[in-house]
Chain A
């Protein structure tokens, strides 16, 4: 299996830097997602790894072997395209055989390997069909099988589930994930769908405007985002601007904000008086009708406000809470919480559930 290292990768199209200074090591067996809005450079990065684009600067190493000078056909990659790109004039079997024929694998072995991979993607009886005779989900799995049957060093997936309907997309996430784990192939997965990235990835690389903002495990990206962009792109966030008053106990900081002093966890050091933003996720906030008894001195934060909107989403109920000084907090509470529009409420959250973004 193969380790992938990308060092200082940049790709410019004219004056536009599509990818700028991309640095990453992807370990053996690891599945990495490149996540970001369209135009953030995630697809360009993938295409550089595949060899369809040549980088303006930087190196791409497969197990310490620089592949930048190699054409795609000599990189031993497997790639799955957004529209699957199955050859329409070939049957499923011929599609699967294509990469093996290019590698000079013997006829007998091609037959065996195709049978095995069709078994793996649970489409054993569709070998003689043409791609147009398959459903979207089946085409998707054949595309995956075609990329994997050649036993590539690196598997590259470019929004492979984007063309499926929502239900099937969710099923396929788990399918792709378990298949990748079973085969243990180093994988780079491009998506703009944060939920997909969360489910599928060992680590997520969040990109904006050609730059990496954050690399980390899904829970780390979600609960400890490094920038407003990351926090906004992944999940819903409340931002409360404030100034650092000083460090408290257990790696907490006290912030002076428009709604009073708030306490917040943070792992780095922050100078006193620094302007920062506190971020707290809507589901970390608990609503209560009465002021919490020990709001001062404990690990909790409490902000008073009034319910301005309420919407029922089935598994949760969403609220918008108007607080002092024009601050509006988004809150997600359990669906049985009985607050109505106009109710006076207290928004409480634990310091450990909040995070600081140094602006």
Chain B
């Protein structure tokens, strides 16, 4: 998960840079954080950058000398094997993000507007995926989705609705289910904040002017919640493209995405320089997508105070 935290931080830093004025002693307070990030994020990353340019070796971690070969091998592979996996990763990220947005928006809207006394219970439900460890949650899904003895398949077969089990796991479907489940809170919470800051009178104004509930959503609520949409989608996207545990547990090796591939290269094949290069290709591709997305969406958001 450490890998996943880094990408939004880099994206955020490039998007906002308030001008600093003078020296403020309270800045000492940021040193522990800066120190931690430097020690455990920046240095390892720099080490990985250097590693990705090293010569591969069969007997050691790397051989002496530097090369661009690792990147060229990944990018210029004649079967486009690695680029295809990169594209699959991005598509999985986009799909998970889109599903989270579609599923999360109504929940966020309801939570933002409800006056129910069970509001705190609803909050707890939204956060519940985060309250259980990732491995435990995935085993929960395995029990439900299992291809041979999973709850859904055995039930449907016992009822005679299907003859042979459905392929619910070890494919993109199973991975998406797990990812959406776990990342949904990361979509709902920013949306919730954004929707809560929209004056309910605006919706009433729209209705009084003749807009149906649906058109009110489309023309007033959604545009005004775009800052939350932007934050939520970026969060879920970067979390998805860098997720490892869920795709491995629910997808096995039949759903190959970049993080799986990187770990395979590093741990199984012990190809550290090549694995590092792949990791960087993923990071840069992810950062690029986020950057372009930010530029496009920020233009739409500019009208909102």
Q: Which residue of B lies closest to A83 (CB)?
A: B201
Of A86, A89, A130, the most chain B CB neighbours within 10 A belong to A89
- Write out the residue numbers on chain A whose beta carbons fall within 8 Å of the beta carbon of B205: 79, 81, 85-87, 146
Nearest chain A CB to B162 CB, angstrom units: 43
Of B206, B210, B215, B219, the most chain A CB neighbours within 10 A belong to B210
Q: Which of A118-156 contact B (CB under 8 A)?
A: 130, 132, 146-147, 150, 156
- Write out the residue numbers on chain B whose beta carbons fall within 8 Å of the beta carbon of A88: 202, 224, 303-305
Q: Known interface pairs A85-B202, A89-B224, A89-B303. Does A77 touch B215 (Cβ–Cβ under 8 Å)? A: no
Q: Which of B159-216 contact A (CB under 8 A)?
A: 199, 201-202, 204-213, 215
- Write out the residue numbers on chain A whose beta carbons fall within 8 Å of the beta carbon of B201: 81-83, 85
Nearest chain B CB to A296 CB, angstrom units: 61
Decide: A72 and B204 in contact? CB cutoff 8 A: yes
- Write out the residue numbers on chain B whose beta carbons fall within 8 Å of the beta carbon of A98: 206, 209, 211, 219
- Write out the residue numbers on chain B whose beta carbons fall within 8 Å of the beta carbon of A132: 305
Nearest chain A CB to B224 CB, angstrom units: 6
Decide: A79 and B211 in contact? CB cutoff 8 A: no
Q: Which residue of B lies closest to A78 (CB)?
A: B208
Q: Which of A64-94 contact B (CB under 8 A)?
A: 71-74, 76-79, 81-83, 85-90
Decide: A79 and B206 in contact? CB cutoff 8 A: no
Contact mask for chain A residues 38-79; partner B; CB cutoff 8 A; 1 contact, 0 none? 000000000000111000000000000000000111101111
Whole-angstrom CA separation of A95 from B223 in the bound complex: 14
Whole-angstrom CA separation of A90 from B204 in the bound complex: 16
Query: Does B231 reach chain A (CB closer than 8 Å)?
Result: no
Nearest chain A CB to B120 CB, angstrom units: 21
Query: Does A99 reach chain B (CB closer than 8 Å)?
Result: yes
Q: How many of A's residues come within 8 Å of B, CB to CB? A: 30
Decide: B303 and A99 in contact? CB cutoff 8 A: no
Whole-angstrom CA separation of A102 from B208 in the bound complex: 10
Q: Which of B200-253 contact A (CB under 8 A)?
A: 201-202, 204-213, 215, 219-220, 223-224
Residue from B208, B215, B303 in contact with A79 in the complex, judged by beta carbons closer than 8 Å = B208
Whole-angstrom CA separation of A161 from B212 in the bound complex: 28
Whole-angstrom CA separation of A6 from B211 in the bound complex: 25
Query: Does A103 reach chain B (CB closer than 8 Å)?
Result: yes
Of A50, A52, A130, the most chain B CB neighbours within 10 A belong to A52
Whole-angstrom CA separation of A85 from B223 in the bound complex: 15
Decide: B208 and A50 in contact? CB cutoff 8 A: yes
Residue from A86, A89, A147 in contact with B223 in the complex, judged by beta carbons closer than 8 Å = A89
Q: Which residues of A contact B (CB under 8 A)?
A: 50-52, 71-74, 76-79, 81-83, 85-90, 98-99, 102-103, 130, 132, 146-147, 150, 156
Supply 19 A–B pairs (Cβ within 8 Å), ascending by A.
Answer: A51-B207, A71-B207, A71-B212, A73-B207, A73-B211, A78-B208, A79-B205, A81-B204, A85-B199, A85-B204, A87-B220, A88-B202, A88-B224, A88-B303, A89-B224, A89-B304, A98-B219, A99-B210, A102-B210
Closest 8 CB pairs of A and B: A99-B209, A102-B210, A85-B205, A79-B208, A85-B201, A72-B207, A89-B303, A89-B304
